[in-house]
Amino acid sequence: MADARRKFCDLHVANNSQLAGQALHSISGLYEVERQARDMRDEGRGRIRQELAVPISNTLNEWMLAQRDLVPNGSATVKALDSSLKRWVALTRYLDDGSVPIDNNQVENQVRP
């Protein structure tokens, strides 16, 4: 999810995009669920994700699909939307398994020299 967040953050910083701000608001909701579930066991984390994060994720996906039809092709906004929508299954894989992290930032940070 961090990659999607990064693309919308870059867009928001560069253009003060309200659309990117809305996406970031929803994505921050997903990270808030993760903060609440941080100290839980995998089973509990999975349950709280199903209860709280799945509805946020579904709403975000529907919103992105609707926005995609409204935004002109070739824009930076379309690139951010398309990137997330094309990878949606991978971005939301963590919702089905309490042992899978919301993003792979920790691994990426260990791999960087």
pLDDT band with cut points at 50, 70 and 90 for residue 104: confident
31: pLDDT strictly greater than 70:
yes
110: pLDDT strictly greater than 80:
no
Give the count of domains, the chain: 1
18: pLDDT strictly greater than 90:
yes
Q: Is pTM beyond 0.85 here?
A: yes
The average pLDDT across 57-77 equals 95
Q: What are the C-alpha distances in Å from 110 to residues 35, 104, 106, 113?
A: 21, 10, 6, 8
Q: What is the CA angle 83-23-57, rounded to 5? A: 80
pLDDT at 113: 63
Q: Which residue range is the domain that position 14 belongs to?
A: 2-111
